[in-house]
């Protein structure tokens, strides 16, 4: 299958996106903000469809809307907590606008499927370079803020007392999350971004307590699941997105089972964590 250029491009783009999504997703899960990634994908859907409507392609609008929403979430911070109804209505409104834009865009019906569920096998070499540039940018920012981000995540009061700006760190992190969401949507679509960003990271957090090892493991799991999903799609002619999400879920459930077995063997109780 590697004799075909589109397959080589798919593996490369999928690997790049998986690394970014897993690394960012690790901190997203650690901060208990997994809903934020899901929210950004919904908002990005409206941006992607609006961008397609004016013939700019899905990625520019997706990136613009997710970054804008990410900055807003980072600035508002704690004020968003406990407002699930309002947030849910805003996300539903974003999906509604996305559906409207798709109904107005009648040139290619397959565009809607690609936005919603991704199409990694259709990634062009130009898009690959774009994804690579976005990956370098997001990982650079994440590496720069990783220490204060971890400090602010684990002990926010102490971090603030030591001079760490929680709001600035939150905004920068949400910008990185927004870029990662825009990238992940190219592989699994806006509806299933949650699986690629959260699945490997959540499994890694249950398999090791070391942060560096956890991030590395999450990236390894993300790349493995993505590449196996692409290969399975080639041989079965089933959607790559389905295989990636299935593998992500299976690995996560396996980590839960191992975690439960280990706790039972050692006599640990949930409240001791």
Is the pLDDT assigned to residue 103 strictly greater than 50? yes
Q: How far apart are CA 244 and CA 138, in angstroms?
A: 22
Check residue 269 and give its pLDDT. Answer: 42
Check residue 272 and give its pLDDT. Answer: 37
Least confident of 83-97, 146-160, 257-271: 257-271
In a domain, 244, yes or no: no
At 14, which CATH number? 1.10.3470.10
- H/E stretch holding 140: helix 125-154
In a domain, 271, yes or no: no
Is the pLDDT assigned to residue 55 strictly greater than 80? no
> Domain span at residue 51?
5-192
Residue entry with tokens 């992190």: 173
In a domain, 159, yes or no: yes
| Averaged pLDDT score across all residues of the chain | 81
- Reference 100, options 133, 157, 136, 53; nearest CA is 53
Check residue 72 and give its pLDDT. Answer: 78
In a domain, 219, yes or no: no
pLDDT band, residue 52 (cuts 50/70/90): confident
In a domain, 245, yes or no: no
Q: How far apart are CA 84 and CA 105, in angstroms?
A: 31
pTM: 0.81
Question: Over the Cα atoms of the chain, what is R_g?
Answer: 19
Give the distance, in angstroms, between the CA of residue 208 and the centroid of all CA atoms in the same chain.
21
Is the dihedral angle over the CA atoms 182, 184, 188, 191 positive or is it negative?
A: negative
Most confident of 67-76, 110-119, 161-170, 194-203: 194-203
Q: How many domains does the chain have?
A: 1
- Other CB atoms closer than 10 Å to residue 82's CB: what's the count? 9
In a domain, 254, yes or no: no
Check residue 40 and give its pLDDT. Answer: 80
Is the pLDDT assigned to residue 118 strictly greater than 50? yes
- Helices then strands, counting H and E runs in the chain, come out as 11, 0
Q: Residues near 138 by Cβ (< 8 Å), separated by ≥ 6? A: 20, 24, 176, 179, 180, 183
Is the pLDDT assigned to residue 60 strictly greater than 70? yes
Instruction: Report the share of the chain in percent with pLDDT over 90.
Output: 23
Q: How far apart are CA 249 and CA 269, in angstroms?
A: 25
In a domain, 221, yes or no: no
Least confident of 50-59, 171-180, 210-219, 225-234: 50-59
């Amino acid at each position: 299958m590697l004799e075909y250029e589109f397959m080589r491009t798919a593996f490369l783009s999928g690997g790049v996106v998986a690394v970014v999504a897993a690394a960012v997703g690790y901190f997203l899960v650690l901060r208990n903000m997994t809903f934020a990634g899901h929210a950004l994908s919904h908002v990005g859907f409206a941006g992607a469809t609006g961008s397609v409507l004016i013939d700019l392609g899905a990625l520019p609008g997706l990136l613009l809307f997710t970054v804008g929403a990410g900055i807003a979430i980072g600035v508002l911070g704690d004020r968003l907590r406990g407002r699930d109804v309002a947030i849910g209505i805003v996300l539903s409104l974003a999906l509604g606008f996305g559906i409207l834009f798709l109904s107005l865009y009648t040139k290619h019906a397959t565009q809607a499927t690609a936005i919603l569920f991704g199409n990694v096998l259709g990634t062009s070499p130009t898009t690959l370079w774009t994804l690579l540039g976005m990956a370098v940018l997001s990982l650079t920012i994440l590496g720069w803020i990783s220490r204060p981000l971890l400090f602010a995540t684990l002990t926010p009061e102490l971090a603030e007392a030591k001079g760490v700006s929680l709001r600035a760190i939150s905004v920068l992190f949400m910008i990185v999350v927004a870029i990662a969401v825009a990238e992940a949507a190219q592989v699994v679509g806006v509806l299933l971004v949650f699986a690629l960003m959260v699945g490997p990271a959540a499994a890694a957090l249950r398999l090791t307590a070391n942060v560096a090892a956890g991030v590395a493991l999450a990236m390894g799991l993300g790349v493995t699941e993505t590449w196996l999903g692409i290969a399975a799609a080639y041989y079965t002619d089933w959607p790559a997105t389905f295989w990636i999400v299935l593998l992500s879920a299976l690995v996560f459930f396996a980590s839960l089972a191992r975690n439960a077995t280990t706790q039972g063997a050692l006599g640990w109780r949930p409240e001791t964590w």
